[in-house]
């Protein structure tokens, strides 16, 4: 793995951890102070975390200038990830006899790997990069 790719992979993981922390924080915070349905709170937390994820990967992971032109590709990536995760969990639980937790763990790994590659080579590809 080249130095640039390794650096991007490490930064990708760091942004992923920050994104997860934002999701958990928004979710827990809103559940604690707002009298809203948990499903609505979770959806709102996903939206906020997705924005952090998009700008974090654009600016920090891939060192590009986030533009509105990238948004459609990122939204398609989110939809692809939702579908991939759902299929992996369904196949894992219904056909392979995996527990939901194990199937979700497998889905997480596959979604993370595919997301890194799709963001690097499709969503963020060809964009103006910041100097190192």
Tens digits of pLDDT across the chain (132 residues):
677 889 999 999 999 999 999 999 999 999 999 999 888 999 999 999 999 999 999 999 988 887 788 889 999 999 999 899 999 999 999 999 999 999 989 999 999 999 999 999 999 887 666 665
Q: CA-CA distance, 81 to 91, in Å (whole number)?
A: 15
Helices 3-33 and 100-118: crossing angle, nearest 10°?
130
Indicate the pTM of the whole model: 0.82
DSSP H helical ranges for the chain: 3-33, 38-56, 71-94, 100-118
Q: Name 64's bridge partners.
A: 129
Burial 51-85 (b: 16+ CB within 10 A, else e): ebbbebbbebbbbbebeeebeeebeebeeebeeeb
- According to the model, what pLDDT value does residue 65 have? 80
pLDDT at 75: 93
Residue among 25, 18, 118 at smallest CA distance from 78: 118
């Amino acid at each position: 793995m080249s130095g640039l790719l390794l650096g991007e992979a490490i930064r990708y993981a760091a942004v992923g951890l920050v994104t997860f922390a934002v999701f958990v924080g928004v979710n827990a915070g809103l559940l604690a102070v707002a009298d809203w349905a948990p499903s609505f709170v979770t959806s709102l937390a996903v939206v906020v975390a997705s924005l952090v994820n998009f700008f974090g990967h654009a600016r920090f992971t891939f060192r590009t200038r986030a533009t509105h032109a990238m948004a459609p590709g990122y939204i398609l990536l989110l939809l692809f990830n939702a579908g991939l995760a759902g299929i992996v969990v369904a196949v894992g639980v219904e056909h392979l006899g995996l527990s939901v937790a194990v199937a979700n763990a497998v889905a997480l790994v596959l979604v993370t790997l595919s997301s890194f590659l799709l963001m690097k080579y499709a969503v963020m590809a060809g964009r103006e990069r910041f100097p190192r």
